[in-house]
Every structure is written in structure tokens, then in C-alpha cells.
Amino acid sequence: MDNQTISARQYMFLVIFFIIGSSILIVPTPLAAQGKQDAWMSVILSILFGVVLVMFLNKIGSLSSGKTFVQAAIFVFGNWAGRLFCIFYLSFLYILASLVLRNIGDFMTTQIIPETPLQFTHTLFLLVIIGGTYLGIEAIARSSEIFMPWMVILLIFLTISMMPQINVDQLKPILGNGVLPVINSSSIVIGTPLLEMAALLMIFPYVKEERKAKHAWILGTIIGGGVLFLITTLCLLVLGSDLTALNAYPTYRIGQKINIAGFLEGLEIIIAIIWMLTIFFKLIILYYATSVGIAQFLTMKDHRPLLLPLGMGMVVLSIIAYPDVAYFETFVGEVWLSYSLTHGLILPAILMIGLLIKKRVSGS
């Protein structure tokens, strides 16, 4: 949109935050329910898938030569078909953003402030997001550089303080139920967050050097996936697979178990800080992608006038998106994978085919 650029390193940080955000909250429970004590292996499997996926998305990024997903789609498929194509993509981003917003709202309401109505949590959270998006991608990327050390420090603190409570026996027997559950449950991490990375195609063109950006994307995926692996494994080691599957927010539960020399207790809010940070970045990336995408869709010069109306819509959508948490669990378990597969893999694949054909036609 505007002529802002970000560095490859900043892009890598954004990718890491994007992968951890909200997945760290919602992924360990279904993983442990399906994969049992082998859930950690399915995270590794899905990271492998993620690397292949990113190579594919990188290819689209370089084929569209500096165009965002929306611009490239309109360029390839023409004004009408291209826009129809974009409606699917943009609605995916918008719905995903409101679900992410609802995740943090649900968590806050369940664990910290049960009597505060969701609207208020959502509105306050979104106000900051809108402020950040108003300032543009450079400001977002720089703030990711500021907050990354915090997240790393808090993660290290969490890991070290959980060490005394680790019980390696919880991971045994290794592959006790065979390989099948491991493969099946890896689809959970593939659905959230890996396939959602198609949203990053809206930001990819802003990275200064394309070659470095590709490496940064792959590295970011591996590091972000590594953090998910670490958190899932910690949950399994401390709580065991049965209790991890029983808890709505197992990472918060292990935070409650931190006990350093009998006086440093009740540090679970530190875990909540990691979530707030990562979810903030995931949401701001999605929000930026949506608003810039819609602006390009409407060939507007500036995405900023869209921010407030989109935000108002999102507060409403996030609340009516699902009526209760049981609905959400079913939705994530049964619907989400196919939804993110069509919009995060098949749409980009169609675009790639289009780009390749277009290149050949114009080349000859």
C-alpha cells in the first residue's frame, strides 16, 4: 500500500509470533487427546509439513514479483474473476482474525476476569490493534523486535522453572499406540496455524530482499514450530497426556504449578503475557492483511479509512461467530481443517497455476 519496507529479520519475528499466537492456547489439548503421550512427535511431523508448505508459498511470493496476494489474483484472473477469487481469501482472513480475537477473549473470561463481558475485552484489545495497523507495517515489525526478547526470556523462565516437576515416564511408552495417531493428530497443528500462513502472502512483498525473506520464512516456521513443540512437550511431561487433554488451557495450568523455593508462586500470569504478546501479533498481522487486502480490492489509495469500520464489524463477528465453547471445539475439530485447507492451500495453489500460465503466455 504505502512504500514501507521491513527487513528479513523482522519478517522472521512476525512469522514466529504468527505461528505461536493463539495456537499455544488451543493446540495442546486436542493434540494430547488424539496423540496421547506421542503428541510431541506429531508437532515435529507438522513442522516438516510446514517447511514444505512455506517453500510452496515462497514460490508464489517470488512468482507474483512484488504483488500482494490480492493484487496478484486480480492481475492473473482479471477484474471480475480475480475479485471473486479474492472475496474467498479476504473472508478467510477476516473470519480467522475474529476467531483469534475470540480465543483471547474466551481465555480472559474463563481464567482471569469472568464477569467482564466479552465485548469490552474485545474492544480494548482491538483498539490497540487498530492503532498499530494505522501506523503501518514498519511500526508493527519494529515492535515485534522489541517484544521478541521478552517472549524468549519468559519462555526460558517457564521451561527452567518447570524442570523440577518433569517426569520423563509420562512420555512412555513411545509409539505405544502405533504411528497412526501421531500422523492423524499432526493435522491439528497443520490446520492451526500452519495453513493460516497464507495470510502472510499479504506482507511478503514488503520485505526488502526477496531471497533473504524466503530463508526468514522457513527459519521462522521452524522456530515457531519449535516453540509449539516445547510447550506441548512441557505439558505432557508435567501433566501427562490425560490431564493435558482434560484441561482447557494446559499451558496456564502448568504455569500455576510453578513453585520456586516455596515463595515464588502463582506466576501463571507470566504465561498469559506470552499469549497476549503472540496473539497481539497474530491478530495485527491478520488485521493488517485484511484491511490492506480490502483496500487493494477496492483500489483505494489508503487502507486507513477502513480500519475503524472493519474493527466494529470484527467485534460483532467475534461474538456471534460461535455461541459457546463446545461449538468452538467441534468447529475446530471437524470443520477447521477442511476450511483452512481450501483457503490456505488450494486457493494459493490455483493462484500459482494462474501465475505460471500467465508467465508462460507473456513470455512467449
Partner 1 sequence: MKTYNFPFRKLLLILICLLLLTGCWNSRELDELGIVVTLGIDKTDEGDYILSVQVINPSEIATDAPTSRPPVSTYTTTGRTLMEAFRRLTAKNPRTTYLSQLRLVILGKTVAEEGVMPVLDLLYRDHEFRTSFYVTVAKNAPVESMLSIITPYEKIPANKIMSSIENVERHWAATKGVSIDKVIASIRNPGEDPVMSGILLLGEEDIGTNISNVENVDAPTKLEIDEIGVFKGDKLVGWLNELESQGLNYATGNVHSTVITHPCQDEGSLSVELLRTSGAMKGKIKNNQPVIDIKVEAEGNVGEVDCKVDLSKPEALEKVNKQAEKAIKESIEATLAKAQKEYGSDVFGFGGVIHRDQPKYWKKVEKEWSSYYQDVEVNIDATVKIRRKGNSTQPINKES
- In the set 65, 78, 88, 110, which binds partner 1 (CB under 8 A)? 110
Non-local (6+) Cβ contacts of 310 within 8 A are 94, 287, 290, 291, 294
What's the closest the beta carbon of residue 94 comes to partner 1, in angstroms? 25
Give the C-alpha separation, 254 to 271, whole Å: 9
Give the C-alpha separation, 287 to 311, whole Å: 9
Q: How far is CA 72 from CA 78, 167, 361, in A?
A: 10, 51, 16
Type of residue at 36: K
# residues near partner 1 by CB under 8 A: 25
Site string for partner 1, 239-258 (x = CB under 8 A): xx-xx--x------x--xx-
Give the C-alpha separation, 184 to 35, whole Å: 8
Quick one: 138 or 210, whose CB is closer to partner 1? 138
Quick one: 88 or 120, whose CB is closer to partner 1? 120
Return the residues of window 260-289 that contact partner 1 according to CB under 8 A. Answer: 265-266, 268
Return the residues of window 120-179 that contact partner 1 according to CB under 8 A. Answer: 120, 124, 169, 172-173, 176
Distance of CA 91 to the CA centre of its chain: 16
Angle formed at CA 96 by CA 215 and CA 285, multiple of 5 degrees = 45
Give the C-alpha separation, 246 to 91, whole Å: 33
- In the set 114, 149, 323, 363, which binds partner 1 (CB under 8 A)? 114
**Residue 55 contacts partner 1 per CB under 8 A:** no
**Residue 112 contacts partner 1 per CB under 8 A:** yes
Return the residues of window 64-93 that contact partner 1 according to CB under 8 A. Answer: none
Which single residue is written with the C-alpha cell 519478517?
11
Decide if 175 contacts 42 (C-beta within 8 A): no
Q: How far is CA 126 from CA 129, 160, 308, 349, in A?
A: 5, 33, 10, 32
What's the closest the beta carbon of residue 247 comes to partner 1, in angstroms? 8
Quick one: 5 or 111, whose CB is closer to partner 1? 111
What's the closest the beta carbon of residue 138 comes to partner 1, in angstroms? 12
What's the closest the beta carbon of residue 111 comes to partner 1, in angstroms? 5
Quick one: 62 or 111, whose CB is closer to partner 1? 111
- Footprint on this chain of partner 1 (rule: CB under 8 A): 110-116, 120, 124, 169, 172-173, 176, 239-240, 242-243, 246, 253, 256-257, 259, 265-266, 268
